[in-house]
Structure formats: C-alpha cells, structure tokens
A and B are shown apart, each in its own frame.
Chain A
Amino acid sequence: MDNDKAASGGELDAFVAEVREFLDAAARRREASDDDVRWGVGSDQITYFSDDPPEVESAKVAAARDWQRTRYEAGFGWITGPAEYGGRGLSSLHDIVYDTIEHEYEVPDTGVLSLIGLGMIGPTLLAHAQEQVKARYLPAMYRGDVIACQLFSEPGAGSDLASLSTKAVADGDGWLLNGQKVWTSIAHQSEVGLALCRTDPDKPKHKGITAFLVDMRAPGVDVRPLRQMSGGSEFNEVFLTDVRVPDDHRVGEVDGGWTVALTTLMNERASVGGEGNEQASRATSLPFLTAMLRANGRLDDRASRRRLAELYADIAATDYLNRQATVRLHAGVQPGPEASVSKLMYAQNLTRSAHFAAEIVGTRLLADGGEWGTFAWNELLLSTPALRILGGTEEIMKNILAERVLGLPKEPGIDTTSPFRELRRSGTGA
C-alpha cells in the first residue's frame, strides 16, 4: 500500500521526503525477494514467542536501543510527542506514515522498547506524571536509553486488575512498596516500571490505587523469569520488598491510579498479537501454507484444500478489516471497536493455522526428524494459546464488546462499591 502517494498536502510530502532521505542513508531497503516464500530455505522457526538464549536476547535489545537512538537523533524518535520532551509534535498520521515507510527497510525490531514502553507507558507519563519525572525520563525513553515495563498484573489480579493488592505505604517523603507482580515482559531489561499499588484498602477497589514509576534497579526489586510452556522466557515475576519510591515518582493523584491505568490500557492497540510478529506471520501467509501442503503431497487432497480455504477466507477478511481501519485512520476517523475484533481474529487465525499445520504434518510433529517445516510447528502450537489470554482474555474482550458496543447488561453481582478490604479473593477463605 503506497501511503506516501495517498497522503495529501505539501507538508506531508516534505515529511515523507525527509523520512526517505533518513532511511536511505541509515538502512538497507528490503528486497522484494526477502518476502518470498522459499520453502526449505533458511530457518523454519515459526513461533509466536521467541526462545532466544540470553546473549542473543541482549544483543537484540542493544541493537534495538541503537536504532531507536539513531531515529531519535534524526528527529523520528517520538513523532507525536511534544517538542519539550524530545518529540516532533506531529500527528498520528505522520506516525503511521513513518512506520509504513520504515517497513520497506531492514531495521532492527524495536518492539522491546516500543510495544510497552514507548507505546503505552510514554503516553501515560506524558498525561499523568509530575514535571520532573517527565523531563527526566521521556526523552531518555524515546532515545532508547531507558526501557520501561508495566507492573500491573498480579497472581490474584489478572482479568480483575482492580483487585490488585501490592501495597504502597507512605514513608517519610516517599513510599514503601511491597508485593508481587507477574507477566511482566522484558522486566529484566528495563530501567523503570510503572507499578499500580493499593494505597487505601478501605475505599472501593478502583478508588484506592496509586501509580508509581519504579526504578527497576532499586534495592528490593527482584526480577525472576517465568518459563513458558512453549519453552522460552519472555515474561517475569517481579517481587517488590520494601522498595522505596520518592513521592515525585508518583504518577497521577494519590488514589487516582485507576485513571492512570486506563490511559495505559487504552494505548494497548496492537501490543499483544497483531502486525509485530514477522516470524509468526508466515503461519498466516497463503503462499507459505500452500507450500506446506505441496511439500506434504496434500495439495490435491480435497479435504486439505477445503480446510486451507476456510482458514484463508478468514485470514483474508481480517487483512481487509485491518486495511480498511488503516484507511479510516488516515482520514482522521477515530478507531472503533473493530480493533478488538481484529485481535480476536488474529488469535483465532494463528491458532487455527497452527492446528492445520499440525494435522498436515501429522506424527512428524512429535520428533525432530530434521525435516524442514515439520517439527518447527511445535513452537507455534505451544505458544498460540497465549494469544487468547494475554493482553485481555477472549472472554473479557467478548464481555466488553457485548456490553459497550452492543449495549447488553453488565455482569450481575459484580461489586464495585464495597471497600477493597471486604472483597472475596482467591485463597482468602471459602
């Protein structure tokens, strides 16, 4: 899709020219053949989560930081951010235009910085943090010097985030944090984390939460990797034991943390699932799936073709949905609920694809016989369940769609007015 042609106005054209000039000098343009499906060539790894050993992961993070810095120094580090914090002060359309053009070049994947830190926490700090924290961290984040993670979920507070129990108690001119966070991506690579804490258990659960920006290297912060069933370790548990946070690192009002959380969560556009994942994208590529059928002698098998077509119809329609949403974004129309439909479909499509491949590959899925494109599907099969869970479970998303878009009544018996202290939680007795 040639967005630079579709854009109108001389000012946008000038921006486009500037972007191209920068990228032409700083990166290599992708060859069309880079995207070709070449069955049997290169790595057959096809996973949603990577299983990189630590040194590989560190190298990737370093490369991401470098590229982010390069972009920042050329004026493309924070296209929509205010100039006083190192941003460019342009519109989200410019953002999209930049991303679209950058996609034509081979550059390091900056997801580890941008998906959560720059995409979600940056805007949250901009909206709610105190002045000195904004000045200190925002430019640093968008320059790639500081990586930020999200300390929200807890073992007892997943879908029901507001029932979180990590405590923050006032201590002198600061706060003392105690508790446990879980499912924190890249915590081990982060310098700071945005933590939601319980500051008043006598208020209803949504009203007694405060947000803090925590120094991940501070004493009392203990990051432990969580191993996934798919083998890798992209997530962590973070134990907070008497962690000191100065009051100027409080983000938003005391007991006003839920508003801060909502800002963060609203920015979670395509954080889990969605376009970012190049490797897994092969799994929803018709040429790739066709090549797989052909390699397994099933290209003429009517039943296999039928299943491929059923899958492909939904993959194509999801692409169309996304394409139309992007066109509307360009036209300045606010994104609607189709984003959650898109996320639901992405999870379903990828999962179906993994199962389809497993069926075609059959027993060769069990043992690594060295045959290209067989055993490798294991990783995708074992990682796709996460798509229907992380970043909002499918059940919760359907509740939200039903309640907010279709106007159906809310879940009965959900208590939002009793003090937090009185609420029933897991493991707190029958």
Chain B
Amino acid sequence: MTVMDVETSQLLTASLRALFGDLEPGSDPRPALAELGWAEVRQAYPEAATTLLFAEQGRGLASSALLDDIVLAELALDGSSARRGLLYPTAGEAALPDTARADSAHPDGAHPDGAPVRGVLLCSPDVLDEIVIPFGHATPAGAGIRLRAVAASELAGHARPLGGFARDSGWFAVEAPAAPSGTDIENVEPWPVALAAGRRALAAEIIGVCEAALELVVAHTSARHQYGHPIGTFQSVRHRLAEAHVGIVAAKEVLSLAGRDDAGAAPARDALLAKAQAGRAQAVVMRHLLQFFGAMGLSAEASAHRHVSRAAVLDSLLGNHRMLLARLGQELLDGADMSAPVTI
C-alpha cells in the first residue's frame, strides 16, 4: 500500500477544499475532480484519497452522488458509458436483521425481494441511464445478493425529492410498488466489500461535517460574550466541546484502522464499526453545536442546523449508528470472532 505523505495530503486537502468551496450547491463535482486529475490520485492512493475526498465534501456541506462511484467501482459497474446510480435501501430497517425472513431487509443492507422498492437515489433519475438495485434474499445456503440494473426512466415516475433533514441534499426518494424488470446479476460476491467501502466513505464524510461544526462552535463560543466573558470560558461549554472533540478523534482512529490495507480479519465489520462510531460522534457534536449556538442557532439563517441535518442524513444512509451497533451485537451473540483491531 502506498502511504500518502503529509505534503501530498495537505496539497490535496487544500485543492479539495477549494473545489467544494467553489462548487455550486447541488452541482456535480465530478467535472472539477476530473480537472484535478482525481482518477490518478485515486489510483495511487485508493483508500486515503477516498477518505480525503469525502472528508472535504463533508466539511463543505456539499451533497452529490460521489458515493455511487465508490460503491459501483467495487461492484465493477463503474466502467461503462452508461451513467449509473445505486438505489440505497430504506425499507425494512425496522426489523432486526434476520436472514431467515425472506421479507426482511438483507442483513447487508439490500432491498428485500418481492417487496415494494423503497430507496434513496443520490441524484435525480433524469440524469441517469441506469439504476442499480441490490436485492437480498434468503437461500438455503444463506443470504444472497442479486443486483438488477434497470432503466432509470422506469423509476423516474416514482421518484421525488427528499424532505425533512435531507431537503437540501438534492437526493431523491424512490417508491415503486414492484421492481421493474432489468438485467440481473446473481450472487454478487463483492457486495460486502462494496458496502464496506461505502460505509467508510460515509464515515469520512460525517467526520468532515463534525470537524467543520466543531470549528464553527469553537469560533462562536470565543466571540460570543455574555456576562463580560466569552462563553467558551464557562466550564459547562468548554468541557462539552472537549467531549465532542474526543468523539471525533475516536471516530477518526476507528476509520483509519478500518481502511488499512493489511486489513484485519473482518474488513466489513471494521467498516460497520467505523460508520457507527462516526454516527455516534455526530450525535454528540451536533447536540453541543445546537446548545452552544443558543437561540440564534435555532434560526434557519444560521448555518448550525445545516451541519445537524447533513450529519443526520449521512448517518441514516447504509444503516444508522444504532442499527449498526445492534447488528454488531447480534454478530457477537452469534459467536463471531472479535479479534482486536490493534494488539497492544
């Protein structure tokens, strides 16, 4: 594995920060990335480049379909000229992962077979040629994954922009009574690897949002005076910010372990843990962000809530942190081997 040296890392960080800073909200960063020569960077430093990219996307509170590139690349579906997007599942997560139940979500996060299709697209179906839907189903041999590539136009009528926390994401909710027909690929082996890569990227992005949020609130608590002092001098404020910082650092550590080339025994589990840890960190950071911005932070004009929303949206994709931790717990109970990622 090529380790990225500090200088390269700083250079790339600066370029990416400028890129996302200049990007029009909602526009595709891929052309600008291509200009940067990103494909070569990614080839030279597969994991580190992705981490940097998504961290900067997170910092910039930018939203795009870049995650598709990561996941589809692992599935070897990124090569063709057809513009593809993945349909990320949202249905069935209420049920506990249960491989025996055919109607529940596949434990590795695919759509249940035969059920109405419900998911999230990271861009409008109008800019895609094909949508890739991962289906999970129970087989006698265990859980299986099938990928189906359908024409985007088949689902265009069933898509509408996301609301709530995700209203600024430019993402779309898809809800179709049944999956349209398309080209099926059975027993997709790389799916767990693709899922893991996606989760690591999301973890990096969440951490980026958190770091930007923490900088914002530290700046605010230094500038905002009440009772004649910056509110950051009050212990209840500074201690909570310290907790937030610790959470972020912990999440970064777990992510870097998950992404190492001499991968541990269970890269999928490490990725799950990295995303869960990032999700936990954002819960703490965002709570404190809102509390210390005070009433002004509750207004729509303040930028605080945009961090809150974005982090919540990212946490929700590919399994929110509580769901992932429940999943991990279930694996432990099922006797999974949990060797420590680091031997001290």
Contact = CB atoms under 8 A, between A and B. Distances in A.
Interface residues of A, number: 56
A258 B21 CA distance: 47
B282 to A, nearest CB: 13
Contact of A413 (B89, B228, B287, B323): B228
Nearest to B89: A363
A395 B234 contact: yes
Contact of B322 (A157, A228, A359): A359
A391 B237 CA distance: 19
A228 B300 contact: yes
A367 B163 contact: yes
A415 B322 CA distance: 46
Contact of A363 (B297, B299, B305, B320): B320
A389 B291 CA distance: 7
Interface stretch (B12-20, B69-77, B91-99): B91-99
A360 B96 CA distance: 11
Contact of B173 (A183, A366, A382): A366
B320 A359 contact: yes
A393 B298 CA distance: 13
A229 B294 contact: no
A427 B223 CA distance: 7
A362 B93 contact: yes
Contacts of A360: 94
Contacts of B312: 381
Nearest to A379: B164
Contact of B228 (A155, A296, A364, A415): A415
A412 B27 CA distance: 51
A369 B166 contact: no
Interface string B138-177: 0000000000000000000000001111100000010100
Contact of A424 (B228, B234, B309): B228
Contact of B298 (A156, A229, A362, A423): A229
B9 interface: no
B290 A385 contact: yes
**Secondary structure dominating the interface of A:** loop
A359 B326 CA distance: 11
Interface in B216-237: 223-229, 234, 236-237
Given A227-B300, A229-B300, A158 B294 contact: yes
A153 interface: yes
B177 to A, nearest CB: 13
Given A160-B226, A425-B225, A367 B95 contact: no
B115 to A, nearest CB: 13
Interface string B35-54: 00000000000000000000
B10 interface: no
B294 A363 contact: no
A380 B329 CA distance: 29
Contacts of B175: 369-370
Contacts of A359: 320, 322-323
Interface string A390-403: 10011100100000
Given A395-B234, A398-B236, A414-B228, A365 B164 contact: yes
Contacts of A389: 290-291, 294-295, 298
B294 A159 contact: yes
B298 A367 contact: no
A406 interface: no
Interface in B273-324: 287, 290-291, 294-302, 304-305, 308-309, 312-313, 316-317, 320, 322-323
Contacts of B93: 362-364
Interface in A272-315: 296-298, 301, 303
A345 B64 CA distance: 40
A375 B118 CA distance: 14
Nearest to B226: A160
Contacts of A365: 164-165, 316
A155 B299 CA distance: 12
Nearest to B326: A303
A388 B289 CA distance: 12
B55 interface: no
B173 A163 contact: no
B175 to A, nearest CB: 6
Interface in A399-430: 411, 413-415, 423-428
A363 B291 contact: no
A378 interface: yes
Interface string A224-252: 00111111000000000000000000000
B201 interface: no
B315 to A, nearest CB: 10
A202 interface: no
A223 B175 CA distance: 43
A368 interface: yes
B237 A366 contact: no
A411 B94 CA distance: 47
B120 interface: yes
B164 A423 contact: no
Contacts of A228: 298-300
Given A378-B164, A395-B236, A366 B316 contact: yes
A426 B225 contact: yes
Contacts of B91: 364
Nearest to B318: A363
A362 B323 contact: yes
Interface in B237-273: 237
B166 A414 contact: no
A227 B301 CA distance: 7
A153 B298 CA distance: 15
A364 B228 CA distance: 45
B320 A378 contact: no
A386 interface: yes
A426 B329 CA distance: 48
Given A229-B300, A366-B166, A386-B295, 4 more contacts: A157-B226, A231-B300, A362-B94, A395-B291
Interface of B: 89-91, 93-96, 118, 120, 162-166, 173, 175, 223-229, 234, 236-237, 287, 290-291, 294-302, 304-305, 308-309, 312-313, 316-317, 320, 322-323, 326, 329
8 contacts: A157-B226, A158-B296, A159-B226, A366-B313, A367-B162, A367-B164, A389-B291, A426-B226
